[in-house]
Amino acid sequence: MRPKPARRDLQLVVGDAAAALKRLRVLQTREPVDGEVSIERNSAILHVLLAAERAFMMFLREVGDPGFHARNPQVEAKTREMVLFVLKNGQADQYPLATTYPVADAFRTMAMFVATGRVPEDIGWHNDSGDRKSTPNA
């Protein structure tokens, strides 16, 4: 039986990108990790839920925006497999495997967002706002 991952939560407001990247690297070295990471840069927010090997990612262009959530085209959308994420308030949420990415992709996405304010184009994003933009970077 695999040991339960450590719980790590991190909230970053990016003012100093180098310091924020350093905090992310420290968190990444402590894998496997369960937790929540919320990164605010200018008015945009990248919110990531971590569950050992999988991550669920949401991108909000501003507070109140329905935003985008990641969808992984490499995972069969018809799969019924769910991934359990435990929020910092103890609430347990389940998301379809097809809406998650490996944790390494989530850390790459977080690092790019901290450094540039953009997210990788190779991550599949679903627009929940209905404004027809295909990527948070548009």
Q: What integer pLDDT is reported at residue 2 of this predicted model?
A: 52
47 close to 61: Cβ distance less than 8 angstroms? no
| Mean pLDDT computed over 89-101 | 93
**Does 138 map to a domain?**
no
Q: How far apart are alpha carbons 106 and 48 in whole angstroms?
A: 7
pLDDT band per the 50, 70, 90 thresholds, residue 88? confident
Q: What tokens appear for 5 in the block?
A: 């991952």
**Residue given tokens 């190779």 in the structure block:** 122
Task: Give residue-wise pLDDT tens across range 26-44.
Answer: 877 775 678 899 999 989 9
Q: What tokens appear for 15 in the block?
A: 């003012």
- Give pTM, 2 decimals: 0.86
pLDDT of 138 higher than 80: no
Q: What tokens appear for 93 in the block?
A: 């949420």
Q: Who has greater pLDDT, 2 or 66?
A: 66
Range of the domain at 88: 6-127
Q: What integer pLDDT is reported at residue 32 of this predicted model?
A: 66
**Does 1 map to a domain?**
no
**What is each CA distance from 9 to 38, 48, 123, in whole angstroms?**
8, 10, 23
Q: How many domains does the chain have?
A: 1
